[in-house]
Amino acid sequence: FLSLVAQFCCGFFVILILGNFWFLAVLYLLWLYLDWETPCAGGRRSHWVRSWTVWKYFREYFPIHLIKTSELNPNHNYLLGFHPHGVLVAGAFGNFCTDPPFKNLFPGLTPYLHIMPIWFGCPFFREYIMSAGMVSASKESVSYVLNNEGGGHASIIVIGGAEESLNAHPGSLTLNILKRKGFIKMALKHGAHLVPVFSFGENELFKQVANPKGSWLRNVQEKLQKIMGFALPLFHARGVFQYSFGLIPYRQPIHTVVGSPIPVKQNLNPTTEEIDQLHALYLQKLKKLFEEHKSNYGIPEHKSLIFE
């Protein structure tokens, strides 16, 4: 959905340049130059945009649910690790970029969904995603959010990143996390409490062409991902009037479960050992969260998370 909107925005910008409104394109480029750092400085959210009626229907389509398991004190800042990436990241968008799900369950906290910086280079589209509460996934951006001295800020990071979308097959429980420790270091440097989040049903929205590791398709996808910065999963789902083929996601319920916070004491210069210890604790808490709730959302008892 976001990529389609991005293509429309880019197309509209090209029309301005080629048409009789080129001066508007020039003015926008000037604005873009002056406003370039905003995605790394908290963005520019709009409660009006986040409350559009269309988002209510978007959440009800699947439907998307946000599950609270513990209180999050608004006097602290938090770093929420979202799993898994899936193809659409629908749970992250529906719960953290639209009102009122998060606002009602966690009053006093402002969520910021961090996404790839490349999206903020798209004309007009960047204004829309910032209005929804999305900001850059750069270190500077995460630091800006977590530096709020009064607390009340929550950074949401999709830990597996675009690479994990290549594992987004129905029933898949594989998370790309063992080598991803940058978010742990950021939590330590800012004293932000860590919160594991698992979104049950995220991988069930699309069917992806078989791409096991070592296959020619997976090799091509991984090479393209390294070059472009984002992955290209080959997926399909349903159409408008039929259920056999199309790009509309299947109507599968999504339950995004927010776990209990892991207290983190600020450490401006954490050692590798300290980062590894907190990372191991985070994996333990994430696995515990999954095991405690999997039976509620149709996951067989014998299935567990796979970390790689």
Q: Which tokens is 139 given?
A: 């270190």
Residues 194, 281: Cα–Cα separation, whole Å? 10
pLDDT digits (tens, 9 = 90+) for 17-56: 767 777 777 888 899 899 999 999 999 999 999 999 999 9
pLDDT digits (tens, 9 = 90+) for 146-198: 999 999 999 999 999 888 999 999 999 999 999 999 999 999 999 999 999 99
pLDDT digits (tens, 9 = 90+) for 252-278: 999 999 999 999 999 999 999 999 999
- The answer to whether the pTM exceeds 0.75 is yes
Domain ranges in the chain?
1-35, 39-307
CATH class of the structural domain 39-307:
alpha beta
